[in-house]
Amino acid sequence: MPPVTPRDLEFAWDRARDAATAERWGPPRRLLFRREDGTAQEMVLADADAACWAEAVDGMLGLGTLAGLSLCLRLLALVEVMSRARWLMGLYSMTSHGIELHPELLRAAAAMPLDAAARFDETGLRRLLSRTIPSGASAP
């Protein structure tokens, strides 16, 4: 998936949060990826939250575009890695308006490659972020 801009990723995050707050649940999505060897890999976004967030991105750019698909998968990968990588807790904060993301986390998620399961490699993400954020820095 091609990189996206951190600004677009943050905008998609906000639109997805708005859609979830308004309970605009989208339909389940079936994504089919053709490999160079002709075989296919299928990804189903059946989870209500994932479908809601995909619906929000579809309304922004369209999931039928490479840019929209990349943005959607990066958004979902960011949520997924934040749910399992406790060390990321210093790079986002809970506010009365929702989760605020550190700019370096947004930059990394916008540019880092996704693996075959459309996830971020946690080790690579840690390595990338440890080079870009000075020790002792905190999220805004």
Quote the domain boundaries for residue 11.
Answer: 6-132
**What percent of the chain clears pLDDT 70, i.e. is strictly above it?**
94
Residue 111 counted as domain residue: yes
pTM value?
0.86
Number of domains in the chain: 1
Average pLDDT over the chain, rounded to whole?
89
> How much is the pLDDT for 78?
96
CA 77/CA 98 separation, integer angstroms: 18
Residue 64 counted as domain residue: yes
Residue type, 57: V
Residue 57 counted as domain residue: yes
Residue 41 counted as domain residue: yes
Residue 69 counted as domain residue: yes
The full 3-state SS of 71-89, as one line of letters, equals HHHHHHHHHHHHHHCHHHH
Residue 140 counted as domain residue: no
Q: What is the DSSP letter of 133?
A: S
Mean pLDDT of 10-18: 93
Residue 100 counted as domain residue: yes
pLDDT digits (tens, 9 = 90+) for 15-59: 999 998 999 989 999 998 888 898 988 899 999 999 999 999 999
Token representation of residue 119:
């996830």
Residue 94 counted as domain residue: yes
